[in-house]
Structure 1
Amino acid sequence: MFGPFSEYVRPYRRRILLAVAVIACAQVAATLIPLQIGAAVDSLAEDSTEALSLVRDRVINVLALALCIAMGGYFMRRLTGVTSTWIEYDIRTKFFAHLLAQPLSFYQEHRTGDLMARATNDLTQVRIFFTYGLRGIAETALIFLFSVTMMCRIDWQLTLLVLIPLPLMSLFLVRMAAIVHTRFRAIQDFFGDISNFIQENLAGIRVVKAYVQGPAQSRHFAGLNQEYLERNASLIHTHAVYRPLSFLIASIGLGMNLWLGGKGVVAGSLSIGDFVALNAYLTLLIRPVSYVGWVIDRSQRALVAIRRINEVLAIEPQISDRTLPATTSLPEQISGRLQFDNVGFAYDGIPALHSLNLDLPAGTTLGIIGRVGAGKTTFARLIPRLIEPTQGRILLDGVPLDQWPLTRLRQAIGYVAQTPFLFSDTMGANIGYGVEDASEPQIHEAAEEAQVRTDIESFEEGFATVIGERGVTLSGGQKQRTTLARALLRRPEILILDDSLSAVDTHTEEAILGHLRRIMAERTTILIAHRISTLRDADHIIVLDEGGIAEEGTHGELVASQGIYAGLARRQQLAEELEVM
C-alpha cells in the first residue's frame, strides 16, 4: 500500500489507521455544517414564529460540529506528528548502522557529502510527508468524497454539471506529478554535489588557506549555488502554474452552481437552503482542490527521497560474517598466530600485493618496510578485514579470517592507522574509544605508554580537554600518540602500527618503543615504518617492493645481505650523522 515506505510504516499501521479514522470523523462533521446552514436558511424562509428557535438549534449544532472538528484536528496532529518522528528515527538509525557496516571500498565509490545529504535533507522530506502530506491525502480524499456525496443527495444532476471541470484538472495533476518527480530528483542529486563540495572544503580548510584558494572556491561554489537556484526555479514554475489553475477551475464550478442553481431556485425545483448548502460544499472543495497540488509535490519529493535512501540501503556489505561450516571450531582464546598463504590483493584489477607467504607465531613482532606504494598499508588492512584478499587466504590461529565473526576478530586487534583520526571530544574519551567503561587509571596508563600523558596534563583541562574536529588543535605527533594510546588501552592480541610514529622525533620514538617492547612481547605485532631504528628489534622483518616480499630476515641478516634494506640503513645513518654535524 505504501510502496517504498512500507517497511518503515508497518510498525505504526495502527497509529496511522487511527489518525485516518480521526480525520474521517472530523471531515464528517465538516460536511454536516453546510446542511445545518441550509436548514437554517430554509427555516428563516418559512416566516414561522418558531424560525428563530430552529435557527438557534442549528447554530448549536454547528458549534458542536466545530468542536468535533477542533478535537479531531488536535488528535490527528498528535498522531501524525509522533508517528512521522518515529519513522524518521527508524530510517536514520537503520541508515547510519548500514553505513557503519560498509567496507572501505564503499567510501571510495560514494561521496561523503552525498551520503550526508541523504541522511539529512532527504530524510527531512520523508518526515514532512508523513507529518503533513499523509494527512493532506486523507483530508483531501475524504472532504471530496463526503462533500460530493452530500451534494448528490441534494441534487445529483446539478452536482455532476458543476464538477465537469475536475476531469480536466486530473489530467494536469498526473502530468504535474511526473514533472515534480523528475525535477526534484535532479535537485536532490545536485544538492548531494553541493554538500560534498562543502564537506571537502571544510575538511581541507588548511590546504584551502595555505594555497590562498578561498576566492577561487567561493567562485566555484557560487556557480554550484546558481545552478541549484535554476533547478529550483523550474520546479517553482510548476507550482506557480498549478495554484491559479486550481482556483480557476474551482471558481468555474462555483459560477456554474450560482447560475444553474439560481435558475433552479427561480423555477422552484431547488430550495434557497439547498442552494446555499451546495455553494457551501463547493466552497469547502476549493481548499482540497488547491491543496492537491501541494500534496502531490510533497508525495513526489518524499518518493524521490526514500528511493535515494533505499538505493544506499540496498547495497549489501561486501565484507560481513559468513555462515561457518558445521565442522569449524573456533578457539575460545585468540593467541595471535597469523599465516599468509599465497595472499594477493588488487585495486580494480591493479595488483597491490602478490604471493605473500608468512607464518607468524603468536607473540612475534613483524617489521615491514618498503618504498611508498609498496603495499604496506594494504597489508595492514587485510588483517582486520577492512579489505579482503583477492588471492589466497589469511589464517588466524589456524582458522581462515573470513570464518571469524567480524566483531570478535576486530576486538582482538588494535589498529593504529597511518593517518590518525580523532573525534571532537575530550582527550580521555578519544583514548577510551572502543573500550567500554574504561577507567581513568587505565586511560592514564595507556597515555603514559604512548608518551602523550605529559602533553595532555600540560593542557589547562588535562584529559577533559575537548579537541577540535579531527584533533585540529593537536600537533601531528600528539595525534599519533593519542591514537596509539587508544590501541594500547584495548590490550589486543594483535597490534598493528601502520607508520604510527612517523610524526614524532627520534628521542620520543625511543621512549615509546621502550614501553612498547614489554607490550609487544605479549602479543603479535605488525610494525610498519620508514625508519630502520623503529624496526631494529623486530623478530622478523620483510621488505616489500612492488607488492611482493623482496627481502626478509632479522635486522642483522638484512644489513649483512647488502640489499634494499641495507641501502636504506646506510642512507638513514648518513642522514643522522649529517644532522649531528
Structure 2
Amino acid sequence: MERKHIVWKHVIDYRYSYLIGFALLSISSVMQLVIPTLLGTFTDRLEMSLLTYKEALQIALWMLLAGLGIAIFRSSSRIFLFRLSRLLDRQIRDDLFRHWETLSTQYFKSRRVGDLMSHAISDVSVIREVTQGGIFNILEAVVLITLTVVTMVTTVDPLLTLLTLLPLPLLTILSYRFRSRIQRESVDVQEAIGSLTSRVQEFVAGIRVVMSFRQEKEQIRLFGEDNHHAVAMNRKLVKSNSLFGALSSAVVGFSFLVSVVLGGIMVLHGRITLGEFVAFNSFLSLLMGPIDNLGKVVSTMQRGKASEKRLLAILNTRPDVADDSNADFSIESLDGAIEVRGLSFSYPEASEPALRNISLTVPKGTSLAIVGKVGSGKSTLVHLLVRLYNPPRGTVLLDGRDINEIPLHVLRSHIGIVPQDQFLFSTTIRDNIGFDPKPYGDEEIEQAAKVAQVYDNIAEFPHQFQTALGERGISLSGGQRQRVSIARAIIKKPSILIFDDSLSAVDTETEDRILEGLNSVMESRTTIIIGHRISSVQSADQIVVLEEGEIAERGTHESLLALGGLYADLYHKQLLDEAVRGQESEWEGDKVANTVPGTPRASQNLGVATGGRAG
C-alpha cells in the first residue's frame, strides 16, 4: 500500500498525545491573557490615584502566579510535543532502514551512498523540525491568536481591533508567494548535501588509490566545488527565508503603528481609557510572537514537505525481488538439487542479454565449476541462484520447484555464498565469521576458520577472534579477507555452497590447503565454484565454460582437455605462466646465490643447470 503522508499519519496515530499537548498549551495561552488585563487595571487605578499598596501587592502576586503557571504549562506542552517529534524521528529511520533491506541490489547500484545518508540524516532531521517547532508554533498561534482577538474585541474596542489587525492578512499572501520558492530551494539544499556526503564517502573509501596516484590536489578541488555549491544553495535558501521574515516583520510593525496612532487618538477623545490602551498593546504584543513565528513555520513546513516527498519516494519504492504471490511458505529446507532450463537474462539497464539459453543440471551433493572470461556471465548466474535478481519463471529450479516460489528467507538461509568482493563488517572477526541469525559457539567458529586456512593468522593477532576490524575489513590482507569470507559461508552448513572466484587472492599453496579442507565440507553439499585457475575447478564433477553469456563447452576436466577447445587453451596457458614464474623465481634465487661470498662456482653453475632442466 502506497504511503501518502508521514507527518500527518504520525499525528493521527498519536492524536490523543497531541490532544494532551494541545490542552497544556491552551492553559498556558489563557494564562498569558491575565497579565495584559492586570496591567490595564493597574494603569487605570494608578491614573485615577486610586491604587493602594494592598492592590498593587495583589496585582503583583497575581502576575507572579500567572507567570509561574505560564512557565509550567508552556514547558510541559513543549516537552510533551517535542517528545512526540523524537518518536517520529526514530520511527522514520527505522522504517527507512527496514525498507532499504527489502530492496534489491539494483536499487543500490543506481544510488550514491551520500544521497542515501542524506535521506537518513538530513531529511529525517527536517521532518523532526516540522513536528517539533512547526506543530508547536501552529497550535500556539491558533489558540493564542483566537483567544487574544476575542479578548481585544470584547474588553477594549472592536473597531480598533479590526483596523490594527487589517494588515495581517498580507502574511497569508506572502506565505503563498514564498511557498514554492522555499520548497524548491530546500530540495536543492538536500541534493547538495547528498553530493557533498558522497564526495567525502568516496574519498575515504578510495584514500589508498588517491594517495597512490597523487590525486590529493584534484580531490581537494572536487570537494571544494561540491562544498561551494552546497554553500551557494544554502545561501539562496537563507536569503529567501530572511526576505520572508523581513517582510513579515514589516507587516507586524505596521500593525503596531496603527495601534499606537489610532489607540492614542481614542485615548485623547476618551473613547478608551489609558489602561485599556496599555492592555490593548500588551495583547497585541502577545499576538506578534505567534504571528512572527508563522513566518518561520511556513519555511519549516515547505522544507519539511520537500523532505517528505524525498522520503516517500523511497518508502513507496516497490522491491524488485520479493516473495512471490505463489510462494510456498510450507517449505522449510532445501536438498540442493539445481536445474536450469533455457535461461536467458538481461540486466534492466543493459541492451544485450547477460545470459543466453543456459541449460544445466546439478544433482544434489555434486559439484559444478564455471569458468570463462571476465563478463561472460559467471557471476550473473550465481546472482540469479540466490535471487539477487528475478530469473524468468520456469528457468531456475531447486529440488524441482521454481525458485520464484521458494520463500526468500528459506532460499538464502540454505545457500552459503563467498562473493568476489569479500565484504567484511566493522566488528570483530568472530562476528564476521558467525554472521548469521543462528548463534554459533567458539568451537564452530574456530573449526570454520581452520577449514578456511585462516585460523593460524587469527591466532597471531593480540585479541585473536575478538580482533576488531576496520571499515570493510581493511586491517586484513586481501587473502585473509577471502578466507574469513569462506569461513563465514561454510559455518552455516548450507545445502548449496557457492564460491564466486573466492580463491583469487591466495597463493597456490594456500589454495591447495583450502581445497583439501573443503573436501569434507563439500562432500554432501551441492557446490558451485567460479574460478579462473584450473587448479581450483579441475576436480569438479562437471565443468561449464561460458563465453558471451552462452555455454561454449561442458564436461569433466579430462574430457575438456581432450576436446582441445577454450578450456584446454586456458589450461595450457596457465601451465606456461606457472612455468615462466617458476623459472623467474629460480633465476632470482641464482642471483642471490651469486652474491653470497664463498659459494663454490661449480655449485652455482649446477644450480643454474638444474634449474634450467627443471623448468
Structure 1 and Structure 2 fold alike (TM over 0.5): yes
Aligned to 2:273: 271
- Asked if 1 retains the 8 angstrom alpha-carbon contact of 2:329 and 2:406, the reply is no
Asked if 1:337 corresponds to 2:337, the answer is: yes
Which residue of structure 1 aligns with residue 82 of structure 2? Answer: 81
> How many Å apart are 1:240 and its aligned residue?
2.3
State the percentage of identical aligned residues. 35
In the alignment, which residue of structure 1 is the partner of 2:526? 524
Q: Check the 8 A contact 1:416/1:498 in 2, yes or no.
A: yes
For 1:318, which of 311, 320, 323 is the aligned residue?
Answer: 320
Aligned pairs for 1:38-77 within 5 A: 38-48=40-50, 51-77=52-78
In structure 2, the CA distance between the partners of 1:127 and 1:560, relative to structure 1 (3 Å rule), is same
1:414–1:490 CA contact under 8 A, matched in 2: yes
- Residues 31-51 of structure 1 deviation map (CA, whole Å, 9 limit, x = unaligned): 222112112222223433x64
Given residue 472 of structure 1, which amino acid in structure 2 is its aligned partner?
I
Distance 2:342 2:182 in 1: 55
C-alpha offsets along residues 456-476 of structure 1, whole Å, 9 cap, x if unaligned?
Answer: 111111111111100111111
Match of 2:425 among 413, 423, 426: 423
Selected match of 2:25 from 23, 40, 54: 23
2:436 corresponds to which of 434, 437, 443: 434
Following superposition of structure 1 onto structure 2, how do residues 117-128 of structure 1 map, counting pairs within 5 Å?
A: 117-128=118-129
Taking the aligned partners of 2:411 and 2:239, their CA distance within structure 1 comes to 56
2:158 is aligned to: 156
Displacement of 1:18 in angstroms is: 1.3
- 1:254 is matched with 256
Structure-2 residue corresponding to 1:294: 296
Q: TM-score, normalised on structure 2?
A: 0.91
Q: Deviations over 1:168-189 (max 9, x none)?
A: 2321122122221111111112
SS at match of 1:526: strand
Structure 1 residue 279: Cα displacement: 0.8
CA shift, 1:52, in A, is 3.4
In structure 2, the partner of 1:90 is 91
- Provide the residue aligned with 2:102 in structure 1: 101
SS at match of 1:121: helix
User: Alpha-carbon deviations, 1:7-49, whole Å to 9, x = none?
Assistant: 333332221221122111111111222112112222223433x
Distance 1:68 1:322 in 2: 59
1:548-563 alignment runs, 5 A limit: 548-563=550-565
Q: Secondary structure at the match of 1:306?
A: helix
Q: Deviation of residue 390 (structure 1)? A: 4.5
Give yes or no for the alignment of 1:170 onto 2:144.
no
Question: Would the alpha carbon gap of residues 329 and 45 (structure 1) be closer, same or farther in structure 2, given more than 3 Å must change?
Answer: closer
Q: Which runs of 5+ in 1 are unaligned?
A: none
- What are the Cα deviations for residues 382-410 of structure 1, in whole angstroms up to 9, with x where unaligned? 11101122475211111111111100110
Alignment of 1:192-271 (within 5 A): 192-271=194-273
Looking at structure 2, the residues matched to 580 and 182 of structure 1 have their Cα atoms a distance apart, in angstroms, of 65
Mapped partners of 1:37, 1:332: distance in 2:
77
Instruction: Give the 3-state SS of the residue equivalent to 1:298 in structure 2.
Output: helix
User: What is the Cα deviation at residue 380 of structure 1?
Assistant: 0.8
**Cα contact 1:4–1:307 (8 A) shared by 2:** no
The alpha-carbon distance between structure 1 residues 90 and 219, as it changes in their structure 2 partners (threshold 3 A), is same
Q: CA deviation at 1:57?
A: 2.5
Q: Which runs of 4+ in 1 moved over 6 A?
A: none
Change (3 A) 1:70 1:299: same
CA deviations 1:292-350 (Å, max 9, x no partner) are 2211111111111121111111110011011227xx68555311001101111112342
**Which residue of structure 2 lines up, in the alignment, with residue 140 of structure 1?**
141
Kindly indicate whether residue 410 of structure 2 is the aligned counterpart of residue 404 of structure 1: no
The Cα offsets for residues 388-436 of structure 1, whole Å up to 9 and x where unpaired, read as 2247521111111111110011000001101110011111111111143
**1-structure distance, mates of 2:104, 2:218:** 34
- Native 8 Å contact 1:9 1:87 kept in 2: no
Whichever residue aligns with residue 375 of structure 1, its letter is: G
- The answer to whether the Cα contact below 8 Å between 2:7 and 2:131 also exists between their aligned partners in 1 is no
Partner AA of 1:531 in structure 2: R
Cα deviation for residue 81 of structure 1 reads 2.1
- Residue deviations 1:251-277, cap 9 Å, x none? 222222222112212222111211110
Tell me the amino acid that sits aligned with residue 265 of structure 2.
K
Tell me the amino acid that sits aligned with residue 83 of structure 1. L
1:75 Cα deviation from its structure 2 partner: 1.2
Where 1:351 maps in the other structure, the secondary structure is coil
- 1:256 counterpart letter in structure 2: V
Is 2:182–2:241's contact at 8 Å kept on the other side of the alignment? no
Tell me: CA distance 1:333–1:161, structure 2 relative to 1, closer, same or farther (3 Å). closer
Secondary structure class of the residue paired with 2:354: strand
Give a deviation string over 1:499-522, Cα, whole Å, max 9, x none: 000000000000000011111111
Gaps of 5+ in 2: 584-615
Between 1:107-116 and 1:453-462, the stretch displaced more is 107-116
Is residue 8–residue 90 contact of structure 1 (8 Å, CA) maintained in 2? Answer: no
Contact 1:384 1:410 in 2 (8 A): yes
Give distance in 2, aligned partners of 1:208 and 1:138: 53
Tell which deviates more after alignment, 516-525 or 289-298.
289-298
In structure 2, the CA distance between the partners of 1:174 and 1:188, relative to structure 1 (3 Å rule), is same
Determine the C-alpha separation between the residues in 1 that align with 2:244 and 2:563: 82
Q: 1:5 to 1:329 in 2, by over 3 A?
A: closer
Cα deviation, 1:188-216, whole Å, max 9, x if unaligned, reads 12221222222222212221111111110
1:296 partner SS: helix
